[in-house]
Amino acid sequence: MIDLHGFQLTAWLAATLVMGTPLLLAGIGELVTEKAGVLNLGVEGMMLVGAIVGFIAFVETDSHLLGFGLAMVAGVATSMLFAVLTMTFRANQVASGLALTIFGVGLSSFMGRPYEGEGITGLAKLNVPGLTDIPVIGPIAFHQDALVYLSLAIALGVVWFIYHTRAGLVLRAVGESPESSHAMGYPVIGIRYLAIAFGGAMAGLGGAYMSLVEPHLWVENLVAGRGWIAVALVVFASWRPGRVIAGAYLFGGITRLGFDLQALGVPIPSQALSSLPYIATIVVLVILSRDRIKLRLNRPAGLGKPFHASG
């Protein structure tokens, strides 16, 4: 029988927000990209490049702000490689995304070799007077680092943008029918470039969160599949931003649970516990894939399809 004596629910819930933050950032960026009709499977590579660039920037400048900023720039720059290939030269999006991931893995490994295993000072947690001391809720909601709150604000901003602004309507129209959007005078390629850039910025920021905040060190392949989970998360959420938020924290909680069970010494192999979030991803996708009609209705009709502006 598994002994869970010592498991602290409040600490686990607080850590769930931390573990879910990089997934939320990368997932919400991929959602916007896919809403524009572009399937970018290079999230893992963009997160890795953002992680190492942010880490190097912090080590050299001792500035978290500069580290996060340059990580976002690196994510955008990496995403533009994908954009040029798929939007300008109309290369296959799936193949280009996979190539981007392979490129990101190799580049981050090369750049990070001198910093392998080096630890840094993590981002301090905020302490809201009068709120942090509230039993149960205080440590969970009011004692987190700034990026936890920023990521949630960005996600809620994306919800508002997609469903309550004209620009968001245009973005969805481009993803559903790029030909009709082009006929109405909207710059489909330009809009898709911007969506890809936003996805790259969020992936870079999500990667930097892992290297600068949790676990605030650099090891090769630090992201460890979180980029792939972020891509799957968008499908799991049926391309709805509200569900992306919930799904990010769900997978973050499962990831943290694996670590906590290892710390409690449960008689389960550590490899099995570490694989919990990936197993959960597979199970959820298998369940969702059974309802193909619902998936087809929510999926942007132009997702992954090349577009060429003629006339």
What residue ranges do the domains of the chain occupy?
Answer: 10-118+130-298
Average pLDDT over residues 175-196: 96
HEC profile of 194-237: HHHHHHHHHHHHHHHHHHHCCCCECCCCCCCCHHHHHHHHHHHC
Structure tokens at 103: 């490129």
Report which of residues 69 and 2 the model is more confident about. Answer: 69
Q: What is the pTM of this model?
A: 0.94
For residue 5, pLDDT over 60 is answered with no
Task: Read off φ and ψ for residue 37, nearest 5 degrees.
Answer: 90, 15
How many Cβ atoms are within 10 Å of 306's Cβ, its own excluded?
A: 15
The structure tokens 């509230």 sit at 134
Tokens found for residue 97: 């995304």
pLDDT surpasses 70 at 125:
yes
Please indicate whether residue 266 or residue 28 has the higher confidence score (pLDDT): 28
Give the model confidence (pLDDT) of 69-84 as tens digits: 999 999 999 999 999 9
Mean pLDDT of 193-217: 95
pLDDT at 2 over 70: no
* Range name among 62-76, 133-147, 173-187 with the lowest pLDDT average: 133-147
Q: Which of 95-99, 106-110, 121-125, 190-194 has the lowest mean pLDDT?
A: 121-125
Question: How much is the pLDDT for 277?
Answer: 85
Question: What is 10-118+130-298's CATH topology?
Answer: ABC transporter involved in vitamin B12 uptake, BtuC (1.10.3470)
What's the pLDDT score for residue 262?
80
- Residue 6, pLDDT > 60, answer no
pLDDT value for 59 = 95
Q: Output DSSP code: residue 136.
A: T
Q: Could you tell me if 99 and 88 are in contact, meaning their C-beta atoms sit under 8 angstroms apart?
A: no
Please give the average per-residue pLDDT across 7-35, as a whole number: 94
279 has pLDDT over 60: yes
Of 113, 112, 85, nearest in space to 99 by CA: 85
What was the pLDDT predicted at 211? 95
Distance between CA atoms of 238 and 232, rounded to whole angstroms? 10
Least confident range from 42-46, 53-57, 129-133, 179-183: namely: 129-133
Q: What percent of the chain has pLDDT over 90?
A: 69
| Between residues 9 and 242, the one the model is more confident about | 242
- pLDDT tops 70 at residue 3: no
Indicate if the pLDDT at residue 39 is higher than 60: yes
Mean pLDDT of 248-274: 84
Q: How far is CA 243 from the centre of its chain?
A: 14
Q: What is the mean pLDDT of the chain?
A: 91
Q: Where are the beta strands (DSSP E) in the chain?
A: none
Residue 252: what pLDDT?
93
- Decide if pLDDT at 41 tops 70: yes
Predicted local confidence at residue 278, as pLDDT: 86
